[in-house]
Amino acid sequence: KEGYTGFHMGDFNVECATIDPTDVLKIAKTVARALAVYGTPAFKEMIQNCMSQDLSWKGPAQNWEKVLLGLN
């Protein structure tokens, strides 16, 4: 979700041989949005939202275990 844990830039051109001007524009607009939020209460809230996420392997490992046990 935009502004909850960070800023979304959208999809980028995956052709790495050239620089796509629309990709550059997406990055520039996102950096401008980030600079506008930096140091505000909303920015501090975004930091807390990021830090409170469970990014451990606990959930995925339990799901994988269920899949494996279901193979019997």
Asked if residue 46 lies in contact with residue 37, where contact means CB atoms within 8 angstroms, the answer is: yes
Confidence of residue 58 (pLDDT cuts 50, 70, 90): very high
Distance, in Å, from the CA atom of 62 to the CA atom of 47, rounded to the nearest integer, reads: 27
- pLDDT of 61: 95
Report pTM.
Answer: 0.68
Per-state percent for the chain, helix, strand, coil, to nearest 5: 55, 0, 45
Quick: pLDDT tens for 1-35.
788 999 999 899 888 888 899 999 999 999 999 99
The domain of 37 spans 1-72
Q: Tell me, what's the pLDDT at 16?
A: 81
The total number of structural domains that make up the chain: 1
Half-sphere exposure of 39 (CA within 13 A, CB side): 2
